[in-house]
Amino acid sequence: MPTLKSTTVRMFGALHSISKERNLPSVIEVTIPADGCAASLLAKELDLPLEKIDAVLVNHQIYSLDHHIEPGDRVAFVPTGTTGPARGLLGIFGAGNKELG
């Protein structure tokens, strides 16, 4: 039987606030399917509002929500409205349907 790896998911900024309002942790350990899934699917499963997500940070690289997440990845959802300096540091220059990094 294969070993299941948990995936750490963090919410930043407004997404952190949404989690707190729902009495949910802002850092969650989840199990991703063995063949992975799109970041958008994970966000939907966590009941995060897609319109409030600008990008996803996976293993220290920034991507759009169509990025494929693998078991064991480190994931953080970055909210819309992230300020200019933080956008530059994270490498977010706009959300789209392709990888941003």
What are the tens digits of pLDDT across the range 83-93?
555 555 555 55
The whole-angstrom distance between residue 80's C-alpha and the CA centroid of its chain comes to 12
* Nearby residues of 40 by Cβ (< 8 Å), 6 or more positions away: 50, 65, 66
**3-55 residue pLDDT tens:** 557 899 988 777 878 888 888 888 889 999 999 999 999 999 998 899 999 88
CA distance 31 to 51: 24
CA distances from 58 to 69, 74, 78, 87 (A): 8, 6, 11, 15
pTM over 0.85: no
Give SS3 for 76.
strand
CA distance 86 to 92: 8
